Amino acid sequence: MEHSDAMPRVPTPTPSCGALPVSRVAERSSFRHEALFYSDGDEGFLEGTLPLLEGAIEGGAAVLVAVGPERAAALRETLGDRAARVGFADMRRMGRNPARIIPVWRQFLAEHGAGPLLGVGEPVWPGRSPAELSECERHEDLLNLAFDDGPPWRLLCPYDLDGLDDPVLEAAQRTHPLLARDGKTEANWTYRGAHATPDPFAGGLPAPSAPVRERSFTGGDLAELRRLVSSWGKEESLGSEGSEELVLAVNELATNSVRYGGGGGTLRLWRDGETLLCEVQDDGRMDEPLVGRVRPAADVHNSRGVWIANQLCDLVQIRSAATGTVVRVHKTLARPSGSGY
């Protein structure tokens, strides 16, 4: 895509009825969640992020940057010796499943909660699948809920204008209370509010695009389910380690169905291109928005299954309503090289 100026598709915020100026936004929450829209690749990314990073380093703030390897390399080169004062995390690895990102930020706060904190995280990059982008929007919404009442810190989320489609950029505007522009922070009048976040489990999932293996189960069938998933994973060339991870994830979700979803459920398996998908459906309902995104305490068992599935799978999608719950997990056979940034 080509654009004639730096921000052609991101409208200037205009106040609407009931909107708050930036000072009032800061008063309502000590968590400052900002979107930065940039173009021109590394040059635009550095232009938007460097002033904030340099100011944070000079001010003695703890800094964690979670971006792809190419962006991290550009930052390290530009910062020089100062890069040693910045923590770096590979977003392509930790954020492939967006549900794994909030725990990383929670750990960052736990380790550095006494002083000023700055995070830079780019969870959305060109080449993300539609399923991943859907979960990224839900993740950005849940960030506001997860940190709204916590300690003060700042999170800047860069979005690539040249590589991302309009619906993705529009979603970013809906989920960020603040916008970073020209070195300044502005209130985002299109932000829908931390406690007005839509139900993260609402909506449906696309129908399987290939033939499906389906198996109903109850508590006495879990061993057979494990054998079925293990055999299928190996048949589809997932490999021993990947198959073991998929078996464990499905077993945890099926066990949840037995314990909390009416005594059993239905397992469905299919392949879409280079991705294996397993879906566990039951009659229960999930109502904790951050389930699977907060490390369970040792004495908590009812959210452990989703947490484990998130750690083992490339993507986990949950949809839940009064009619029941479906959890769909994705395991990629061969990780795509992706487009660099």
Report domain extents, the chain.
22-196, 213-332
Q: Which two tokens stand for residue 94?
A: 């930790």
Residue 173 has pLDDT above 50, yes or no: yes
Q: Which pLDDT belongs to residue 21?
A: 40
Long-range contacts of 192-199 (CB under 8 A, 24+ apart): 193/144, 194/29, 194/144, 194/145, 194/148, 195/145, 195/148, 197/141, 197/142, 197/144, 197/145, 197/289, 198/141, 199/289
* 22-196 has CATH 3.40.50.300 classification: yes
138: which residues sit within 8 A by CB, 6+ positions away? 98, 200
CA-to-CA distance for 311 and 246, rounded, in angstroms?
11
Q: Name the residue among 113, 180, 144, 120 with its Cα closest to residue 29.
A: 144
**Between 3.30.565.10, 3.90.470.20, 3.40.190.10, 3.40.50.300, what CATH number should domain 213-332 receive?**
3.30.565.10
Instruction: Render pLDDT for 107-143 as a digit per residue (tens, 0 to 9).
Output: 999 999 778 999 999 999 999 999 999 999 999 999 9
The order of strands in the sheet holding 62-67 is 87-90, 62-67, 117-121, 153-160, 31-38, 178-181, 184-187
Residue 297 is predicted with a pLDDT of 81
pLDDT the model gives residue 302: 64
The amino acid that residue 45 corresponds to is F
Which segment of 19-33, 69-83, 312-326 scores lowest on mean pLDDT? 19-33
Fold agreement between 22-196 and 213-332: no
Smallest CA-to-CA distance from 310 within 159, 160, 156, 96 is with 96
**CA gap 116, 336 in Å, rounded:** 37
Q: What is the pTM of this model?
A: 0.88
| pLDDT at residue 182 in the model | 78
Mind listing the pLDDT tens digit for each residue in 47-103?
A: 999 999 999 999 999 999 999 999 999 999 999 999 999 999 999 999 999 999 999
Instruction: Using DSSP bridges, classify how beta strands 213-218 and 117-121 pair: parallel, antiparallel or unpaired.
Output: unpaired
